[in-house]
Each structure stands twice: as C-alpha cells, then as structure tokens.
Structure 1
Amino acid sequence: MRQIVLDTETTGLDWRTGDRVVEIGCVELLNRKLTGNNYHVYLNPQREVGDSERIHGLSDDFLSDKPLFEHISRELADYLADAQLIIHNAAFDVGFLNMEFDRLTLPRIADMCHPDVIDTVRMAKEMFPGKKASLDALCSRYEIDNSHRTLHGALLDAELLAEVYLAMTRGQESLTIGLDEDMDELAVASFAVAGERPALVVLRASEEELAAHMGYLNDIDKATKGGCLWLPHEASA
C-alpha cells in the first residue's frame, strides 16, 4: 500500500472566494514505512497572502519568484497517482487542490488517487470523543515532539501527521510487522525446525483414572436424569 500524507498552506480559508495554494508538502509511506520520497514546493498564488502570513510566515516577496501551480501540476499529479491520501481535515486540502486542478482542466483528486481519503481529524474525533483533534493536540497525546513547530508549514505538518497517523493506527499492524523483509528466511527456518522436533509424548489414562472418570459421568447422568452428553449412549442406557 502506497500512502501519501499531504498538507497545504493557502492564502485563506475558502477557495470559493479566490484563495489559492501557496505550499504543498507530501510524505510517502510504503507499507507503513517512511521512504524519504517526499514532495515539497512553494507556489506563487498570483494574489496577496494577506493575513494568512501570520499562520504560515510566507510573505508576498518570498512567494513572488516561486512557480505557478500550472508549472508543477503534472509532476504533482504523477507523484500522487494511485496513492491513498492521509490528510488532517481532508475536505479543506482536497477542496483547494481540486480547485487548482479544475483551473487547468486536469483530473481531480478522486480521479487520480485511491478513492478512500483518510481524514485524521475524523479519526481522532471517533477515537477520542469530546477531546481536541488538532495536530498539536494529537502530537501531545502521542508524545511526538513538535516543539519546532512555531508556524504552520506544509512539509513539517505532513511529517508530524505521518508520525501521528502511524501512532493512531499502531494496533492495525500485523503480528509480523518489521519482519516482512526476512519473511522468506523465517518461513524456511520454521519448516526446518519443524522437521527436527522430537515426536510428541502421548500420556494415556490408567485404568483407575478411566474408572474414576466414568463414575463422575454417571453421577452427572443421574443428577440430570439421563442428560449427560459426555456419557456413551450404551452406558447411559
């Protein structure tokens, strides 16, 4: 399973009113392991960032020479292709990315990625009803160090979310987690050991033990008026 933990930073909260994406950060998980094949880009939103600079610290001057979304859209689509996305508050990020792809008449997230997007906000609310579901709150709950997170950053937040997601789903791992690479060798070794095991020792009941057992069953049979299921039919009769 190839999964991508994704986060975006934007100029505002609503793509419907013209807000745009200014940063995309992605962390790749392959079979629940970090691969290091991450994706990160800053984008020129072609509009002022406004008050959102207080959130992510990205200024108009910093973003002025960064690529437009249309310049990275193809490589981003190729990177995300067929992967399952893991997003904190998925509706927000997916809405913004779909808007950006729609502007270029390119396929939407649901058409290029695994249809089931994992929303870690929803997961957290189901696992901890009534508790805070923010990324900072989850980092605190799972003792993940986020002391270096003074501002929101797409790649940093994706890296933290990857650790949070793995911690939240730790119980879903197989009993052989971490041994997958050596599974063939272990299987061969187990068969070899099985062939060397000594024969099992069979201890049969003595005549006295059999008689005591039969007496116990007869007592049950009398107490239940012939209802002892463990007593042979002939003996019961």
Structure 2
Amino acid sequence: MREIVLDTETTGFEPSEGHRIVEIGAVELMNHMPTGRTYHQYINPERPMPVEAFEVHGLGDEFLRDKPVFRAIGSEFLAFIGEARLVIHNAAFDMKFLNFELKRVGLPALPFDRALDTLALARQRFPGAPASLDALCRRFGVDNSTREKHGALLDSEILAEVYLELVGGRQPDFGLARLDSSRSGGEAGEWRPRPRPTPLPSRITEEEAAAHAAFVAKLGDGAIWLKRG
C-alpha cells in the first residue's frame, strides 16, 4: 500500500480571501515504511507574504520571488502523489488549499476521501487530549527539536513518524500481510506452516525418558500423558 504523508504552508487561512500555498512537502510510505522518496517545492504565491505568515514560516517575499508559480509545478505534484492515499494532519485545511490551486490552473481536484486525517485519528484514539503535531510528538517521543519554524517537508517527515505510531508502530502488521504468495502457497496473508520434511531428532536422553516414565507411572491410570498415548 502506497501512502503520501503531506503538508502545505500558506500565506493565511482562507484561499477564498486570496491566500495561497507557498510550500509543499511530502514523504512516500510503502506498506507503512518510508521509502526515502520525497517531494519538496517552494512556490511563488503571486501576492505579498503577510507579516504574521512570515513569522510562522520564515518565508519572505524576496525568498519566494524567483520560485515557480503553482501552475508550473501542479502536474509534477500530481504525478508524485499518483493514486496514493494522502496522510495529512488537519486534512480539511490542506485539501482546501490544494484543490483551490488545482482548480485555478485547470487541473483535477483531489477527492476528499483520499485523505486520512491524523488529527481526527489522534482525537479518536486519545479523546480529550491535545492532538497538535507537537503534542503528539511529545506523546510518542518523536524528536521535533529542529521544528523552530513551520516547514512543509520537515513537518511531513515528523508527521510520518507520528502516523506510524498512531497506527501501531513502524510495522503494525509485522510484515505478515506482505508475504509473497508464491512462497506461501496462497494469497498474501494466508500463509500456514508446513510439516518438516524430516522430523528433528529427539534431544531427550535415555535417562531422561526413563525418569519421565517412572514419574508418570506414579500418577496412576488418569495421567494425561497416558490418555494422549
């Protein structure tokens, strides 16, 4: 199963008010394991960066001026995510901005049901507990000490670690579901042990066998070892 852990940074909170995406970061997971493939892109928002947004992200107008606009990178972004499930913290926010940008340049929008919201997942697992990314890092012992400013790729990498803890650790199924059916003799996940072609030799000595027989004889006719032959 391929998943993309994704984060965006924006100039504000509402695309309908003219705010735009300034950064996208994404991390690829395959069967709940990082593959090392990432996507990272700064984007020229084609508008001034508000002071409050600069303070959060550390991205200013001068830095973003020579970066590509969304129209130039939209198709590349869609090619990277492919048909994978999207793992996003507070998915409604990022999906709202991504679909606004995609529709604006004539590219297909992303169905909302493709997104798994880790914020909702955390609230379901830990009702009433803080569910911010920083709070989940503290809960799971994920190192976020380098997170001085919000950055899309760094936040995606941190979220990937948090997500894997939320679903049960780095290998929640211990890899059993991914066994090769050609080796298991059936469909993946249906593996069954087979008898050994040659039984292992007994490790019990003659003295141990005799001592056991004498012990069982003292237990009488009702001994379980006698019933089982």
Fold similarity call, TM over 0.5: yes
4+ runs deviating over 3 angstroms:
175-181
Secondary structure at 1:9's aligned position in 2?
Answer: strand
Amino acid across the alignment from 1:66: K
Equivalent residue, structure 2, for 1:78: 79
Q: TM-score, normalised by structure 1?
A: 0.76
Aligned to 1:194: 196
Structure 2 distance, partners of 1:22, 1:73, is 13
Distance 1:155 1:197, change over 3 A: same
Structure 1 gaps, min length 5: 200-205, 213-237
1:140 aligns with 2:138: yes
The alignment partner of 1:133 has SS state of coil
Q: How far 1:31 moved relative to its partner? A: 1.1
Aligned to 1:62: 63
1:22 maps to what in 2? Answer: 22
Shift of 1:177: 5.4
Aligned to 1:90: 91
- Give the drift of 1:184: 3.8
Give the 3-state SS of the residue equivalent to 1:38 in structure 2. Answer: strand
Identity of aligned residues (%): 46
In the TM superposition, 1:103-114 aligns within 5 A as 103-110=104-111
**Residues 147 and 198 of structure 1: CA distance in aligned 2, closer, same or farther (over 3 Å):** closer
Query: What code does the residue aligned with 1:94 have?
Result: M
**1:66/1:176 Cα in 2 relative to 1: closer, same or farther (>3 Å)?**
closer
Matches within 5 A, 1:112-123: 115-123=113-121
Q: Which runs of 5+ in 2 are unaligned?
A: 202-216, 224-229
User: How far apart in 2 are the matches of 1:177 and 1:137?
Assistant: 31
Report the Cα offset of residue 45 of structure 1. Answer: 0.2
Cα separation, 2, equivalents of 1:123 and 1:160: 16
> What TM-score do you get using the length of structure 2 for normalisation?
0.79
1:13 is the counterpart of 2:13: yes
CA distance in 1, matches of 2:200, 2:160: 47
Report the secondary structure of 1:147's partner residue. coil
Partners of 1:71 and 1:175 lie apart in 2 by 41
* Counterparts of residues 39-58 of structure 1 (less than 5 Å): 39-50=39-50, 51-58=52-59
Q: Counterpart of 1:159?
A: 157
Q: CA deviation at 1:173?
A: 2.1
Equivalent positions of 1:196-211 (< 5 A) are 196-197=198-199, 209=221
For the pair shown, the structure with the greater C-alpha radius of gyration is 1
69-78 vs 168-177, which moves further: 168-177
Higher percent of residues as helix: 1
Name the amino acid aligned to 2:196: A
